[in-house]
């Protein structure tokens, strides 16, 4: 089962405040644990939305809007993609994410955990040929993931 751990943005990440040395070291330890366990597929921190863009459609035409975007609760600051055996393992890894030392003290809803749809979830909607093709792509992607 693949899951996405979405690190929510906040005022500091949107201001481009870089993590402390201690935070980088704690995240390195955590990432190394994920790699050693063989569950890390991908992960990264993201620049603030001021360096991003969004796509909308107006009148059927694509419109690109440059950041920054105002609602930090709708933004992400980073992510991990994990390949775990089940939801309980995903929750275990979620509970081990190092707590950042933000100036505002308490941190609520810092990370959201979501399952990816897997090809098998589309049985009865997509043809078996399409499902098999998607499974092949996923296996190829996972084969390129870091190994512990």
For 73-99, the pLDDT digits (tens) are 789 999 999 999 999 999 999 999 997
Determine whether 10 is exposed, middle or buried from the number of CB atoms within 10 Å of its CB (0-12, 13-18, 19+): buried
pLDDT for res 36: 96
pLDDT for res 48: 94
Backbone angles phi, psi at 124, to 5 degrees: 90, -15
pLDDT for res 107: 62
Residue 4: pLDDT above 90?
Answer: yes
Separation CA 8–CA 32 (nearest Å):
21
Intra-chain end-to-end CA distance of the chain, in Å: 18
pLDDT for res 74: 84
CB of 82 closer than 8 Å to CB of 34: yes
pLDDT for res 147: 58
Backbone angles phi, psi at 146, to 5 degrees: -60, 145
pLDDT for res 104: 55
> pTM (2 decimals)?
0.81
For 16-74, the pLDDT digits (tens) are 999 889 999 999 999 999 999 999 999 999 999 999 999 999 999 999 999 998 887 78
pLDDT for res 120: 84
- Across residues 101-119, what is the average pLDDT? 77
Dihedral (Cα; 134, 139, 140, 146), 10-degree rounding? 140
């Amino acid at each position: 089962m693949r899951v996405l751990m979405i690190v929510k943005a906040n005022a500091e990440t949107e201001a481009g405040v870089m993590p402390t040395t201690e935070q980088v070291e704690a995240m390195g330890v955590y990432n190394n644990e994920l790699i050693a366990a063989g569950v890390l597929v991908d992960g990264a921190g993201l620049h603030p939305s001021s360096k991003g863009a969004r796509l909308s459609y107006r009148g059927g035409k694509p419109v690109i809007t440059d950041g920054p975007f105002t609602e930090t609760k709708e933004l992400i600051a980073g992510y991990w993609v994990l390949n775990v055996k089940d939801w309980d393992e995903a929750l275990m890894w979620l509970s081990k994410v190092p707590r950042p030392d933000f100036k505002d003290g308490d941190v609520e809803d810092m990370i959201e955990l979501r399952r990816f749809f897997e090809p098998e979830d589309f049985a009865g909607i997509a043809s078996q040929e399409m499902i098999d093709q998607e499974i092949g792509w996923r296996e190829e992607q996972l084969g390129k993931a870091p190994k512990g």
